[in-house]
């Protein structure tokens, strides 16, 4: 199915088409280009997409957006990044989809994936979402540009690490529903305090469509700040959480032997009981935010409950597998994609409930600024409460935690992911459970791949 024609691209961007062509996808990373794609040759500080035009067309690109000479089919523009944003705006303008924007310090990708699964139950094959964690200044317009005109609902993730970023991204997305999953210490290198982080996350509400709904965490100490940020733009503010008074509230959340939870939630005046396949209290919170959004767009809550029961683990965000070892296997919990103090504690609490001997491979948490040593050392009690017997700590910033844990358990402090994989192979035994978590830049996905045997 055609996503964009050269004429539509030219009209959206103000560019000039060299010839007629039609595309079925959009990419700006030449390594991701597939047959029929539009390749947007972005120019950055370290590279220039025009260098990879031949590669993109060798892989099947149908056309390109360019600002330099090329013999390949193209639309020529003055600025390819501005063109990508223009295509994103055109994609948003041509759809009648109900659009949901998701942000938060933690949980936004998990909530986005869960929300997609819930809506897809009601609108099979007609729901669009951001892929991976494409949530920044290039990822958001790319995700919009990939949205088919016939989409019925869209879930777009938006991230930030500086004030003002979400204020711009939300004008591209123009959500009917905007969710803040949680506020926690993340990117604190760029913010004076958590209140400033809440203010920056609250920028998502500025792009709400008329009659839109803002969804905020009831149990957050920044609840009232977020509500105040939403009120000038939202026709309705909905809260979710465990506390009495939340509009969407977990009346009961009972952990099952499988690690799943049986949840009874009140959504407005209705009650819904469902099994939540993903373990951990943080996932109960995610599920409540998701149900609030499902209700806000008028989708089927009962089908959403079924989808939450069938959610699989997300790669890098809770996926589980058995790692082959001599004489048996060890359970691996893959949380390798990212980390901040709040998500570290949440996943360590999940590890605490698992059987067997516990091993934790923990990578340093980045972008925490001057408070980084305190944040790292502050994880010591959570690591001990998780009944960790051996902690493999990765990166220089983990030194304060290594010092805080000294004498409490076996500590292996290593420099990088390669050394962490060697350490994990040395210490793991059949029947163990190992948690792998750290900031994405640490590269602990290589540890996960190595344990999988890939």
CA distance 209 to 234: 8
Contact 401, 379 (CB under 8 A): yes
328 Cβ contact list (under 8 Å, min separation 6): 429, 430, 431
Residue 5 assigned to a binding site: no
Contact 350, 375 (CB under 8 A): no
List for the chain the helix, strand, coil content (%; round to 5): 40, 25, 35
CA distance 388 to 352: 8
Beta bridge partners of 321: 332
Beta bridge partners of 215: 179, 238
Collapse the DSSP code of 296 into the 3-class scheme (helix H, G, I; strand E, B; otherwise coil) and give the result.
Answer: helix
CA distance 183 to 204: 13
357: left (phi over 0), alpha (psi -120 to 50) or beta: beta
Residue 372 assigned to a binding site: no
Beta bridge partners of 241: 249
CA distance 113 to 28: 23
Crossing angle of helices 281-296 and 341-352, rounded to 10°: 110
CA distance 444 to 334: 9
- Show the beta-strand stretches assigned E in 63-180: 63-66, 74-76, 98-103, 127-129, 153-157, 177-180
244 Cβ contact list (under 8 Å, min separation 6): none
Residue 104 assigned to a binding site: yes
Crossing angle of helices 301-309 and 281-296, rounded to 10°: 150
Residue 110 assigned to a binding site: yes
51 Cβ contact list (under 8 Å, min separation 6): none
What letter would DSSP give residue 261?
E
Length of the chain: 454
CA distance 209 to 233: 8
47 alpha carbon, distance to own chain's centre: 26
Residue 108 assigned to a binding site: yes
259: left (phi over 0), alpha (psi -120 to 50) or beta: left
Annotated binding site: 104-110
Annotated binding site for ATP: 104-110
């Amino acid at each position: 199915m055609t996503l964009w024609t050269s004429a539509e691209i030219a009209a959206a961007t103000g560019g000039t088409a060299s010839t007629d062509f039609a595309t079925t996808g959009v990419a700006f990373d030449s390594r991701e280009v597939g047959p029929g794609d539009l390749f947007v040759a972005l120019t950055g500080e370290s590279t220039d997409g025009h260098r990879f035009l031949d590669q993109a067309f060798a892989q099947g690109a149908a056309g390109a957006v360019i600002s330099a000479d090329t013999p390949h089919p193209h639309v020529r523009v003055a600025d390819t990044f501005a063109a990508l944003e223009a295509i994103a705006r055109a994609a948003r303008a041509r759809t009648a989809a109900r659009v949901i924007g998701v942000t938060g310090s933690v949980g936004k990708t998990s909530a986005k994936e869960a929300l997609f699964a819930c809506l897809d139950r009601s609108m099979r094959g007609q729901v669009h979402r951001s892929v991976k964690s494409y949530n920044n200044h290039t990822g958001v317009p790319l995700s919009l540009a990939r949205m088919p005109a016939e989409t019925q609902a869209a879930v777009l993730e938006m991230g930030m690490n500086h004030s003002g970023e979400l204020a711009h991204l939300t004008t591209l997305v123009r959500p009917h529903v905007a969710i803040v999953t949680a506020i926690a210490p993340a990117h604190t290198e760029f913010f004076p305090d958590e209140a400033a982080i809440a203010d920056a996350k609250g920028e998502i509400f500025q792009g709400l469509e008329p009659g839109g709904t803002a969804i905020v965490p009831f149990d957050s100490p920044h609840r009232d700040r977020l509500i105040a940020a939403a009120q000038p733009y939202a026709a309705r503010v909905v809260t979710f959480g465990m506390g009495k008074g939340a509009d969407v509230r977990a009346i009961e959340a009972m952990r099952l032997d499988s690690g799943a939870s049986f949840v009874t939630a009140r959504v407005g005046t209705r009650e819904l009981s469902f099994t939540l396949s993903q373990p951990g209290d943080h996932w109960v919170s995610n599920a409540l935010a998701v149900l609030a959004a499902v209700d806000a767009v008028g989708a089927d809550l009962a089908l959403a409950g079924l989808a939450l029961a069938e959610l699989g683990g997300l790669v890098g965000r809770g996926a589980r597998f058995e790692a082959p070892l001599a004489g048996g296997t060890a359970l691996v919990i893959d949380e390798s994609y990212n980390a901040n103090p709040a998500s570290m504690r949440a996943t360590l609490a999940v590890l605490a409930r698992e059987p067997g001997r516990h091993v934790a491979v923990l990578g340093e948490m980045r972008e925490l600024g001057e408070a980084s040593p305190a944040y790292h050392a502050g994880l010591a009690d959570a690591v001990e409460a998780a009944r960790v017997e051996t902690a493999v700590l990765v990166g220089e910033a983990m030194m304060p935690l290594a010092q805080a844990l000294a004498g409490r358990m076996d500590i292996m402090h290593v420099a990088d992911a390669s050394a962490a994989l060697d350490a994990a192979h040395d210490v793991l035994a059949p029947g163990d459970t190992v948690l792998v978590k750290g900031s994405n830049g640490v590269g602990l996905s290589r540890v996960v791949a190595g344990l999988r045997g890939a």
